[in-house]
Structure 1
Amino acid sequence: MRLYLALILLAPPLAANPVMDGADPHASVVGKTYWLYPTEASSRDPVFAAYRSTDLRSWKREGVILELDKVPWVKADGAPWHGAWAPALAEKKGKFYFYYSVGPQNPTPSRIGVAVGKSPSGPFTDSGKPLLTGGDGFEAIDPMVFTDPSFGGKSWFYAGGSAGAKLRVFEMADDMVSFKREVNVEQPQHFTEGAFMHLRGKIYYLSYSDGKWNDSSYSVHYATAPSPTGPWSYRGKILGSDDKHQGPGHHSFVENPATKEWFIIYHRWETTRKDPPFRGGRKIAVEKVEYDNKGLIQPIKMTDGRAR
């Protein structure tokens, strides 16, 4: 009984969803630590920051890891302002690679950059040029890099969405700051943007957002495949608006390294109204993910309580 009480007292308080302000959260696990990279809540401050946690509940902002104003090529398009959106992190051979979206999307095309660091907390040094530029019906946003342990450690780059709603996939070169080749892939059903790839067992899960980012149609769908590049078998919508929250999407999946449980980290609007414009900015939340005996993801219910 004394041991039981001691464990209760030592346990950290459970944080309620949502866990923080922000959008487009990309989560990674490094060792026993979760790292989170969101689009910051203020669009007037074009920077990226890193957050860390040991329990997916309490997050500490480690500080700014990249400032767009200090990346020389960002201003080369002549646009009067630039947005810092939808980042992602990848680790390979002891280095960390930070991929990020640079707006605007109109009239100049969106671009994706990549910076390199020795730690998930940075500092990150930009590679010196855009990795991918939009145009011709493709919008270069929402990067995601997946390193496949089952196929010789190859790394695959996923990007695209919104205008044109087109997914593009590339095999990364060994330097992780350039492409080896583009892979032609079929377009997943109901794909709009925000692709994410994770592997569980022998099943590859391509998940993504559908709908309009700022209304109640925004939702998360997924497909499965026998490889990181398809062919995709569409499996349906797993996360959508409810009576209390609207437009959940642009997410990432993360696995607890100790328990092997999976979680989804996503953003949503905290409002009961169905018609935009929504007020108050987006919030980030965490939910546990359940799979059935065939490996299919069960519908995810949004909560206002603990993450697990």
Structure 2
Amino acid sequence: MGTAALARGLAGSARIGLLLAAVAAVTLPQGTALARNPIVQTRFTADPAPMVHDGVVYLYTSHDEDDAEGFKMLDWRLYSSIDMANWTDRGAVASLKTFPWARQTNDAWAPQVVERGGKFYLYAPVSVAGWPKNVIAVAVADRPEGPFRDAIGKPLIAPGKDNIDPTVWVDKDGQAYLYWGNPDLWYVKLNRDMISYSGPVTKVQPRLTDYQEGPWFYRRGNHYYMAFASTCCSEGIGYAMSDTPTGPWTYKGPIMDHDTRATGNHPGIIDYKGGSYLFGFSYDLNFAMTPIHHERRSVSVAKFEYNADGTIPNLHWWDRTSAPQIGTLDPYRRVEAETIAWTSRIKRGQDRPYDWAPGVTTAQDDRGVYVTRTLDRSYIKVAGVDFGGTGAKRFTAGVARANDGARIELHLDRADGPLIGTLPVDGAGTGAAWHDQSTSVSGATGVHDLYLVFRSGGGRAAADLDYWRFDR
């Protein structure tokens, strides 16, 4: 959880440079083998907490509301990927309502989820009416996608001024540790049930060099790591190492330097399919929308390699680093429409330099998550789609709430790249009912980025989109 409410925001020149870079990224799309940062554009996300389970990266995030000025955070969301470039929106997996005893206003701050014994435990800081300090709550689910339910009906960690940003690791001997805190770092040893603890709540002393908040605790080989958001403001990402899970900790330096573009930060680090990945956040989408600082953050990812001695190199900032796509996407199976590598969200306006235009976004109901607000010329980019040597012959999509005359154009490699097919969306009499529409395609062979470009007239959305697939 950042402390940017106390900061002054960005310098004017930095704002302009970031704004132009963000707009260029959106209005000049091109095929690439790299993940595009930030990796989620359909809503604001922060405090990334990645977890690898059964070959999938599950990325839990906090969520800044679109109209947030300071912190306005009501739920926790989940995204998943198997290639680090295309991310599927799994929706909200928990919210403040999960903890009915918590204050329901705005305090769904940085979470982390861990698995143990076939159960998934979500730890998050919340606040309670009448208590001026935060507590740490715990919820449990039977699947990584949730739904999560309140595990104990009360706080796990009682009120304290430092009680934010929990991070959990289950060590090889089965002992689990819960760390948290801003500006001091605290820990307890969790019991095997993961919803209670034994022994004292202990403050880490001396305070870690450059430590502010957002700790991320884990073990790799014989080393224990404590990554964290470095001293505000502005915040970077630093880390310390230890030979034991409770220290003493030795500061090792920055993973990302303090940067005036970020008055908050929160790392998450995993190993996945032979690579190591750092997650964090920036304010790129906020500053593409406005030069005014708001707590509207966006998660990014970068791949890195540990040094031979286990230390982590300085990765610099998100505009200099990213992650390559791992493998390709199979288009001959059902692909959820909310599987996105990049989507349009900015447009150039007539009266103002840049207007906020959500374009493609996602919604969630009893059916699940789907794509909506598909405004004219908005698009979804899906990276690294492997059509194979014989190629695709047909495209099918599940649509609803379609407008007459609307269509979905299928382009390769760019939003204006080669057209392989057009799906007319028949809105007559369909209303909100989901139904399948199909069209023939040609020229789709080999590996390409796929752009689904939505076309409609009169400022209307084309259609809601649930899934798509190609057939040979």
Instruction: Output the TM-score relative to the length of structure 1.
Output: 0.82
The sequence identity of aligned pairs, in percent, is 31
AA at the equivalent of 2:251: Y
Q: Structure 1 157/14 Cα, relative in aligned 2: closer, same or farther at 3 Å?
A: same
Could you tell me how far 1:246 is from its partner in structure 2? 3.0
**Counterpart position of 1:179:** 197
Q: Distance in 2 between matches of 1:105 and 1:264?
A: 35
Pair 1:34 & 2:62 matched? no
Q: How does 1:66-145 map to 2 (within 5 A)?
A: 66-75=94-103, 81-103=105-127, 108-127=132-151, 128-135=153-160, 138-145=161-168
Q: Secondary structure at the match of 1:72?
A: coil
Could you tell me how far 1:300 is from its partner in structure 2? 0.9
Pair 1:236 & 2:260 matched? no
Q: Do the aligned residues in 2 keep the contact of 1:166 with 1:192 (CA within 8 Å)?
A: yes
Q: Do the aligned residues in 2 keep the contact of 1:87 with 1:142 (CA within 8 Å)?
A: yes
Pair 1:210 & 2:230 matched? yes
What does the per-residue CA deviation read over 1:142-161, in whole Å, with 9 as the maximum and x for residues that have no partner?
01110111xx1110001111
Q: Larger C-alpha radius of gyration, 1 or 2? A: 2
**Counterpart position of 2:180:** 159
AA at the equivalent of 1:41: D
Pair 1:289 & 2:307 matched? no
What residue ranges of structure 1 are gaps of 5+ in the alignment? 1-10
AA at the equivalent of 2:316: K
- Mean CA deviation greater in 120-129 or 296-305: 296-305
Q: Do the aligned residues in 1 keep the contact of 2:72 with 2:106 (CA within 8 Å)?
A: no
Could you tell me how far 1:103 is from its partner in structure 2? 4.0
Could you tell me how far 1:241 is from its partner in structure 2? 4.4
Pair 1:199 & 2:199 matched? no
Q: Structure 1 242/74 Cα, relative in aligned 2: closer, same or farther at 3 Å?
A: closer
Could you tell me how far 1:52 is from its partner in structure 2? 1.0
Q: Secondary structure at the match of 1:73?
A: coil
Q: Distance in 1 between matches of 2:127 and 2:49?
A: 18
Q: Structure 1 107/277 Cα, relative in aligned 2: closer, same or farther at 3 Å?
A: farther
Q: Distance in 2 between matches of 1:176 and 1:209?
A: 25
AA at the equivalent of 2:309: K
Q: Do the aligned residues in 2 keep the contact of 1:158 with 1:169 (CA within 8 Å)?
A: yes
Q: Secondary structure at the match of 1:134?
A: strand
Q: Secondary structure at the match of 1:224?
A: strand
Q: Do the aligned residues in 2 keep the contact of 1:240 with 1:248 (CA within 8 Å)?
A: no
Could you tell me how far 1:277 is from its partner in structure 2? 5.8
Q: Cα RMSD between the aligned structures?
A: 2.7
AA at the equivalent of 2:246: T
**Counterpart among 40, 61, 66 of residue 89 in structure 2:** 61
Q: Do the aligned residues in 1 keep the contact of 2:62 with 2:76 (CA within 8 Å)?
A: yes
**Counterpart position of 2:335:** none
**Counterpart position of 2:80:** 52
Q: Distance in 1 between matches of 2:278 and 2:212?
A: 18
Q: Distance in 2 between matches of 1:36 and 1:53?
A: 8
Q: Structure 1 105/296 Cα, relative in aligned 2: closer, same or farther at 3 Å?
A: farther
**Counterpart position of 2:187:** 169
What does the per-residue CA deviation read over 1:54-73, in whole Å, with 9 as the maximum and x for residues that have no partner?
12222112122112134221
AA at the equivalent of 1:286: V
Could you tell me how far 1:166 is from its partner in structure 2? 1.1
**Counterpart position of 1:307:** 323
AA at the equivalent of 2:296: G
Instruction: Output the TM-score relative to the length of structure 2.
Output: 0.55
AA at the equivalent of 1:226: D
Q: Distance in 1 between matches of 2:130 and 2:254?
A: 30
Q: Distance in 1 between matches of 2:50 and 2:129?
A: 25
Q: Distance in 1 between matches of 2:258 and 2:241?
A: 23
Q: Structure 1 248/160 Cα, relative in aligned 2: closer, same or farther at 3 Å?
A: closer
Q: Distance in 2 between matches of 1:234 and 1:105?
A: 37
AA at the equivalent of 2:196: S
Q: Structure 1 66/142 Cα, relative in aligned 2: closer, same or farther at 3 Å?
A: same
Q: Distance in 1 between matches of 2:111 and 2:323?
A: 23
Q: Structure 1 68/242 Cα, relative in aligned 2: closer, same or farther at 3 Å?
A: closer
Q: Structure 1 279/106 Cα, relative in aligned 2: closer, same or farther at 3 Å?
A: farther
AA at the equivalent of 2:60: Y
**Counterpart position of 2:349:** none
Q: Distance in 1 between matches of 2:130 and 2:249?
A: 31
What does the per-residue CA deviation read over 1:183-206, in whole Å, with 9 as the maximum and x for residues that have no partner?
633221221111111222211111
AA at the equivalent of 1:129: K
**Counterpart position of 2:347:** none
Q: Distance in 2 between matches of 1:222 and 1:129?
A: 32
Q: Secondary structure at the match of 2:102?
A: helix
Paired residues in the alignment total 279
What does the per-residue CA deviation read over 1:85-136, in whole Å, with 9 as the maximum and x for residues that have no partner?
101001111111011111489972111110011111011110211111333x
Q: Distance in 2 between matches of 1:148 and 1:104?
A: 31
Q: Structure 1 176/203 Cα, relative in aligned 2: closer, same or farther at 3 Å?
A: same
Q: Distance in 2 between matches of 1:240 and 1:159?
A: 22
**Counterpart position of 1:262:** 276
Q: Distance in 2 between matches of 1:206 and 1:266?
A: 14
Could you tell me how far 1:295 is from its partner in structure 2? 1.3
Q: Distance in 1 between matches of 2:209 and 2:201?
A: 18
